Amino acid sequence: MKKLILFIVSDSVGETADLVAKAAASQFRQGLETVLIKRFSHVEDESQLDEIVYLAKQQNAIIIYTLVKSAMCQKLKQECRIKEIQCIDLLGPIIERIGMELGEKPLEEPGLVRQLDEDYFKKIEAIEFAVKYDDGRDPRGILRADIVLVGVSRTSKTPLSQYLAHKRFKVANVPLVPEVEPPEELFMIDPAKCYGLVISAEKLNFIRRERLIALGLKDDANYARVERIEAEITHFNNVVSKIGCNVIDVTNRAVEETANVILSELTNRHS
């Protein structure tokens, strides 16, 4: 049975070329059994290329590479031509075509796609965290969060949590209700990562009445009465005073504006 050796050469991890090689080999009945793949990752200088080409010649291997630096690509092509070794450039032609269409030169920085993947998964993790620890469902999330939001009902805690999660922050939010003792975890965290969201009684009265109407209920329920709202705000003030956290008035602020206040403060704190 004939054996074929493929050398995967990359200035990053080499996952892209490895997957492409396996996908191609899988198209043959005995491809995955007879094709041996050897990966050479993080190849960053020409001396490494010389060694790889030497080995490829000894083992009669085909080189498949994903090198983003043009100088390294040219070096490998030249050495393969001299040694009469077959080589396949997976990225070069695509990068060249995209550059021509965009009128730009490539960055030639290895590992950028991996950085993008890590950034993407960090955002997904933050979004899942915000969902899991929304509305005080599990107070354990308070201790794990980057940002903790507290406030009475209808102060945009959930949409603000999701907005900040898309910025890759793990956010937990906790509703404050006079009849329910706030979780003890709120008083165990660094007050600097906690933000209280306050709103005027008049504005909250309007929001809650509209909410009740949208649900097909009467708008004079206790939930929307000014006296009830004022009692909730008093309770809120007592709790945030005990926590010692910052308070943001969201009365006339959009979610994005409130988020920018928090993000600006975090940036200033770490600058």
Domain extents for the chain? 4-110, 114-270
CATH of domain 4-110: 3.40.50.2300
User: Is 153 known to sit in a ligand binding site?
Assistant: yes
Reported as a single tens digit per residue, the pLDDT across 174-191 is 999 999 999 999 999 999
Which is more confident, 159 or 2? 159
The answer to whether residues 157 and 111 touch, using CB atoms and an 8 Å cutoff, is no
Q: Is 82 left (phi over 0), alpha (psi -120 to 50) or beta?
A: alpha
What spatial distance separates the first Cα and last Cα of the chain, rounded to whole Å? 63
Res. 1 pLDDT band, cuts 50 70 90: low
CATH of domain 114-270: 3.40.50
Cβ within 8 Å of residue 265, ≥6 positions away: 246
Residue 31 has a pLDDT of 63
Section 42-66 average pLDDT: 95
Reported as a single tens digit per residue, the pLDDT across 19-30 is 999 999 889 887
Section 192-201 average pLDDT: 97
User: Is 200 known to sit in a ligand binding site?
Assistant: no
| Same fold for the pair 4-110 and 114-270 | yes
Range in 2-11, 108-117, 196-205 the model is least confident about: 108-117
The answer to whether residues 31 and 25 touch, using CB atoms and an 8 Å cutoff, is yes
CA distance 134 to 156: 12
Percent of the chain with pLDDT over 90: 81
Residue 268 has a pLDDT of 86
Q: Which two tokens stand for residue 96?
A: 């060249």
Residue 162 has a pLDDT of 96
User: Is 156 known to sit in a ligand binding site?
Assistant: yes
Residue 3 has a pLDDT of 86
pTM of structure: 0.64
Residue 62 has a pLDDT of 97
- Distances in Å between the Cα of 149 and the Cα atoms of 55, 224, 246 are 59, 22, 10
User: Is 16 known to sit in a ligand binding site?
Assistant: no
CA distance 108 to 122: 24
171, pLDDT greater than 90: yes
User: Is 234 known to sit in a ligand binding site?
Assistant: no
Based on DSSP, count helices (H) and strands (E) in the chain, helices before strands.
11, 8
Q: Which two tokens stand for residue 60?
A: 């009669």
User: Is 151 known to sit in a ligand binding site?
Assistant: yes
Residue 26 has a pLDDT of 87
User: Is 253 known to sit in a ligand binding site?
Assistant: no
